[in-house]
Each structure stands twice: as structure tokens, then as C-alpha cells.
Chain A
Amino acid sequence: MAVAELRERLSAVPLRPARLRIGWLSAGVACLIVAALVGVFIGPVGINPAQALRKLVGLLPFVPDTSHLSAQHEAILMQLRLPRVVLAGIVGATLAISGAAYQGAFRNPLADPYLLGAAAGAGLGATVAIAYTPAGVGSNIVPMASFAGALLAVALAYAVGRASGPGRTATTLVLAGIAVMSFFTAVQTFLLQRRADQIREVYGWILGRLATVGWSDVFLVLPYVAVGIATIMAHRRLLDVLALGDDEAEAVGVPARRVRLIVVVAASLSTAAVVAVSGLIGFVGLIVPHVVRLVAGTSYRVILPLSLCFGAAFLILADLLGRTVISPAELPIGVITAFFGAPFFALVLRTSRKML
């Protein structure tokens, strides 16, 4: 196929609404701010929102703290709720943008951040840490073990996909990911069968947990997530080109395979980091990018930043439901994201006239 012909075909591609309109961006940011405030103000323990707001404003430099919260309420607000809302935001943003990145890199609308086995790898790592280390050691190294497991699984999937010959394509990688996922899940199930008494703890991890997080978890994931998200954002234009096809992208000078590798590594790294502290939270990475696509446009210059905002807002609100619905007990957040996310997505799907 001549290059000139390709160029012609490229120019014939219907123009996507490529620019992120300021309206949508402000809607996304506003949504995130509202979600964060609601998340901080509402919880199993009633804290006067006005007092809480004063406390938050008091955190700003040069502003005196005029709140009169009791020591317990201050601890609840500053050491439990705030880090929890921040972490929920980080996890939601990361899963959503990683999901969008995977969908772009693989040109597959069904791709989510767990596509290459990150979830199965993290699950296996967590299981080994919980069930096969001396009591007490386990819970401390769960984040490290699941992070390592997730990276191992994705690396393995990449190696397998790569080894499958010169014709390695996005599809080969996806298939390799499925093989790795099945294998890791099988090993995990086998290990769990042999340690039946630990099933509850592992199961609790699989359903996702934000219940016991503090600031330390936030700082744990932040470096990986910052680098990962920045890398993905930097490649948003190239993802748009990649959407046309590998050959087409190469023809206009975009090294499709290298872009895919970089984006997938960045998305996997940040996904592995958040999974390590939050457990497996499904649905966010798949659905948030699609909702954005349906309502705001199909260019990755739109999808990526909006997924970031709406993913964070969605998970903060899901976590809010998780800790208030059956308060003072908690629902696992993974249950909430699917239970409320699925009908919402169905609604958007029905009312939207656009195609995925």
C-alpha cells in the first residue's frame, strides 16, 4: 500500500471531536471536588460539615484553624476520612485512565486494566503473602507481594505474546494475557484450597478494601501512579493515531509497537500499585472510559483527562456508599462499583445515540 494512498485514507477518516472542551473539563473537575467534599463530610460518624469545612480550610497556609472538633472527630476526619477519600480518588483515577490506555493501546473496547493478568498476579501475590507467611508478617507484605505479582503476570504475558513470532499483534498479547491469567488463577485457587482457614482474609482482599487505609498507603502508591499517569497523558495524541491501526500509524511515522509497549507498561505499573493497596476493584477501568466516550467524544485527548476526573469521583462516591449503607459495618467496595456502576452504564448506553 503506497504511503500516499494511506495518507489519503487517513485524511478521509471522519474528524473526531479532538479538543477537550473547557465545559467538559470543568464539569469533570467540579464533579471530582463535589464528590471529595461529600466523601469527607459524610460517614458512619456524624461530624458537623461546617466544622469539618473550617478544619479543611484551616489546613491552608496562613489560615487559622477555627474549628472546634473533639479529638476523636478530628482524628476521624484527618486520619481516617481524608486519606481514604484521597486514596479512593487516586485508585479510581488510576484504574479509569489505565483502562482507557489499555483500550487505546489494544484497540479493544473490552480491555480493562486487568487485561494482561495484573489482577490474577496481584491476587496470587496476596494469597501467598496471606496464607503462606508466618502470621503477622503476611498482612504487612500483602501490598508488596501483590505489586510484585501483578508486575510478574504482565511481564510474563508480554514475554509470551512476544515469543509467539514476528507477527505479534495486539490480539496475540491479549491471548497471552488470558493464558497467564488462567494459570495464575489456577495456582491461586489451588493454594487457597490447601489453606481453607485463610479464605476469608484472601476473599476480603479480592473484594477490594479501603477500610483500613491511612496516609501511609497514599504515599506508597503516589510515586508509581504519578509517573504512570503522566506517561499515559503524554501519549494521548499518539493513542489517537494508534486507533487507526498499526500500519497506518507507522505510515505517518508513529512507532506503534513502541508506543503500545510504553503505554501498557505505564498503565500496568500504576494499576499494580493501586491494586496492591486497594485489592481488586472491578468495573471502574472498563466503564468510566466508555461513559466518557459516549458523552464527551472519542479522542484520547478527551477520554484520558475526563476518565481521570470521573474515575476518581466515581470511586469516592462508591466508597462513600460502601461505608455508609450498612454503617457501622462496611460493604466491600468491589460490590458497590459493580452493583451501582452496571445499571448506570446501562442507562448511559440506552440514552446515548453514539456508538462505542
Chain B
Amino acid sequence: MRRSAAIVSLALAIAACGKTSNIEPIAAGTTTFPLTVTAENGAITIAKKPVRIVSLSPTATEDLFAIGAGRQVIAVDDQSNYPPGVPTTKLSGFEPNVEAIATYKPDLVVFADDSHKLSASFKALGIAAILQSPPKDLSDAYKQLDVLGRVTDNRAGSANVVTKMRRDIRSLVEDAPHFDRPPTYFHELSSDYFTATSSTFIGTVYALLGLKNIADAADKAGTGYPQLSAEFIIQSNPSLIFLADTKCCSQTAETVAKRPGWDKIDAVTSGRVVALDDDVVSRWGPRIVDFLRTVENALKALKKAA
């Protein structure tokens, strides 16, 4: 019985192949179930419209609620805190406990980290689960929204969100002031100076506005997330400092100014240390537009002062 179901779904997968692959242009409409999608963790078949979704990724949670699938979500992981009122549980996406997840009897699980072989566990339990790991750039993020729209039967919702994001970002980029020499910036991830280079998702977003990352020269290991020394940061003398450690580590423009030697950095002396929301910049959901707007405002202020 089970085997024949597997054969049927395989047949469906083959039949659906190409039509439902990730790269298909985004289009609104309704989904017909059962549906097979090609996710990062392989072909996943969803028998009927999911109404018991568990999200183990804060970004997926934001995406799901943004596209209008919020009512289908019954549980989200302990890091998910947006939008307000999401059904936060003790489930963890970093240290996932498959049994605990299974007790929610989910008909769809969305997760962002497969380092604990979650995929295989869900497969063994017969739970449809979609892996959406951190994207490389915005177009990857759009694709993830599109996939969520299709698997939750909210294609119109996801298409709207993506269209709005594209439009907002385009107009922000068009409005951004132009500089002859691109302003330099330091994106601070932690109070011990871990940062992100231009090769990361957040780095590509900064690059849209024509900013130059001081960490690019420093990432010898090529991880995208090097740790810088205070000496290097002061020497690089960035025009802008963005703090993505305001929540985790309570950093503010004041605490930055008090660090030894930092009062000689242009960004600090001219008051261009910008506090960000840690959550917004470590996720890749629709709120990335808000982040881009903050950066653009800082750029406009910089242009005005120049």
C-alpha cells in the first residue's frame, strides 16, 4: 500500500518535473494537491493543502505570515518572534528534537538547517518537510517565498509580496544618492567584531546601494563571516558603521564611541553609527526592505553632509 503510494508520488514527481521546479516564473493561481516540489532536500510531495505547518526558521515564519499562510501555521521555533503573536514554542531549529516536532502532527515542516539530518528523520516519519537554507542573494529569497506560496496554496499572496519587495527595492536603489568614491562601511555582527563580507546575503544587499565593505579584503578563509581586529577596523576608517548586535550584545552608538581608539573613526566622530535590528538583518524575509531603507537614509545623511 505504502509502496504503491510511493510509486504514485514518484510518477507525479516525474510528471510535475519542470512545471513545478524552483526556477519557474512567479505566477499567481491556486495549487492542486497532491503537489510535488523540488526543494533543496529533494522532491517533496504534499498530499493536501497543509493546515498544520511547523516552522523551524524565523525567516520562514516571517515569510509564511507575510504571504497569508499564517492561519495554517500551528507552531514556530523558539527564535521566531515576528510578526507579533506567532505561535512560538520551545522547538529549536538549531538543536532540533524530531520527536518533539512530531507531537504537533505537522502536515508540513519548514526548516533552514539540515546539519542534524532532519531531512532523513522527517522522511522516515512520513512528514513532508522543506529545507530552505540561507539564500545567497535576493533572487534566492524570492524563490523561497514562491515555493512557500505554492506549497501552502497562497500563490497570490507570495506573488504580491515578491512584487512589492522588488518594486520597493528598485525604487530605493534608484533614489539612493550617488558618490564618486563609494562610502565604506563596517557591518558589526558581534561585540568581538565578527562581520559579514559582500559575498554574504546581507553583503549583496548593501552592495545594491553602492557601499564598499571594509571586510572584503580581510576574509582570507573565505567564510564570508570573518572576525576583524579593532586595529584593522580603525585603520580602515569606515564612513558608516552598522550595528547588527544591538539586541544580542546591547551595543549602541554610545558603547561604540567608548571603545578604545574608536573615537578616531569617521563614522564615530560624525555620528554615523547606525543601530539595526539584529533579527531583521539576520533573516531574509520581506522586512529586508526596511533594512535597506535604514541604510539608504544613512547614505542620504552622508551625502547631505558631504
Interface residues of A (CB under 8 A from B): 43-45, 71-76, 78-81, 83, 135-137, 139, 196-197, 201, 204, 209, 211-212, 214-215, 323, 326-330
Which stretch (B7-15, B222-230, B283-291) binds chain A?
Answer: B222-230
CB neighbors of A among B76-125 (8 A): 92, 94-95
Shortest B100–chain A CB gap in Å is 15
Asked whether B294 is an interface residue with its Cβ less than 8 Å from the other chain, the reply is: no
Asked whether, in the complex, the Cβ of A135 is within 8 Å of the Cβ of B249, the reply is yes
Residues in chain B near residue A211, CB distance under 8 A: 192-193, 229-230
Asked whether, in the complex, the Cβ of A204 is within 8 Å of the Cβ of B232, the reply is no
Most central of A71, A78, A323 by chain B CB within 10 Å: A71
Query: CA of A215 to CA of B207 in the docked complex: distance in angstroms?
Result: 37
- Name the prevailing secondary structure of the A interface residues: helix
With A43-B229, A79-B261 known, 6 other A-B pairs at CB within 8 A are A76-B234, A80-B231, A135-B247, A135-B250, A196-B94, A211-B193
Asked whether, in the complex, the Cβ of B264 is within 8 Å of the Cβ of A330, the reply is no
Asked whether, in the complex, the Cβ of B227 is within 8 Å of the Cβ of A196, the reply is no
Asked whether, in the complex, the Cβ of B249 is within 8 Å of the Cβ of A327, the reply is no
Query: CA of A197 to CA of B228 in the docked complex: distance in angstroms?
Result: 22
Asked whether, in the complex, the Cβ of A75 is within 8 Å of the Cβ of B234, the reply is yes
- The answer to whether A80 and B232 touch (CB under 8 A), given A139-B191, A329-B218, is no
Most central of B95, B221, B230 by chain A CB within 10 Å: B230
What are 17 A-B interface contacts by the 8 Å CB criterion? A45-B231, A72-B264, A74-B264, A75-B260, A76-B234, A80-B234, A81-B231, A83-B260, A136-B249, A139-B191, A139-B249, A326-B220, A326-B221, A327-B229, A327-B232, A329-B218, A330-B227
Asked whether, in the complex, the Cβ of B229 is within 8 Å of the Cβ of A323, the reply is yes
Residues in chain A near residue B23, CB distance under 8 A: none
Query: CA of A174 to CA of B38 in the docked complex: distance in angstroms?
Result: 61
Residues in chain A near residue B234, CB distance under 8 A: 45, 72, 75-76, 80
- The answer to whether A212 and B220 touch (CB under 8 A), given A44-B231, A136-B250, is no
Asked whether, in the complex, the Cβ of B94 is within 8 Å of the Cβ of A212, the reply is no
Asked whether B40 is an interface residue with its Cβ less than 8 Å from the other chain, the reply is: no
Residues in chain A near residue B221, CB distance under 8 A: 326, 329
Interface string of B231-267 (1 = CB under 8 A from A): 1101101000000000111100000000111111100
Smallest CB gap from B235: residue in A: A45
Shortest A294–chain B CB gap in Å is 35
Asked whether, in the complex, the Cβ of B260 is within 8 Å of the Cβ of A329, the reply is no
- The answer to whether A76 and B235 touch (CB under 8 A), given A135-B247, A329-B226, is yes
Asked whether, in the complex, the Cβ of B94 is within 8 Å of the Cβ of A44, the reply is no
Smallest CB gap from B252: residue in A: A136
- The answer to whether A75 and B263 touch (CB under 8 A), given A45-B235, A135-B250, A209-B192, is yes
Smallest CB gap from A324: residue in B: B229
Residues in chain B near residue A197, CB distance under 8 A: 94
Query: CA of A79 to CA of B248 in the docked complex: distance in angstroms?
Result: 26
Asked whether, in the complex, the Cβ of B192 is within 8 Å of the Cβ of A328, the reply is no
Smallest CB gap from A70: residue in B: B264
Interface string of B159-175 (1 = CB under 8 A from A): 00000000000000000
Residues in chain A near residue B218, CB distance under 8 A: 328-329
Asked whether, in the complex, the Cβ of A76 is within 8 Å of the Cβ of B231, the reply is yes
Asked whether, in the complex, the Cβ of B235 is within 8 Å of the Cβ of A72, the reply is yes
Query: CA of A136 to CA of B275 in the docked complex: distance in angstroms?
Result: 15
Most central of B95, B190, B248, B260 by chain A CB within 10 Å: B260
Asked whether, in the complex, the Cβ of B192 is within 8 Å of the Cβ of A204, the reply is yes
Asked whether, in the complex, the Cβ of A45 is within 8 Å of the Cβ of B232, the reply is yes
Asked whether, in the complex, the Cβ of A330 is within 8 Å of the Cβ of B248, the reply is no
Asked whether, in the complex, the Cβ of A329 is within 8 Å of the Cβ of B228, the reply is yes
Query: CA of A72 to CA of B266 in the docked complex: distance in angstroms?
Result: 10
Query: CA of A214 to CA of B261 in the docked complex: distance in angstroms?
Result: 9
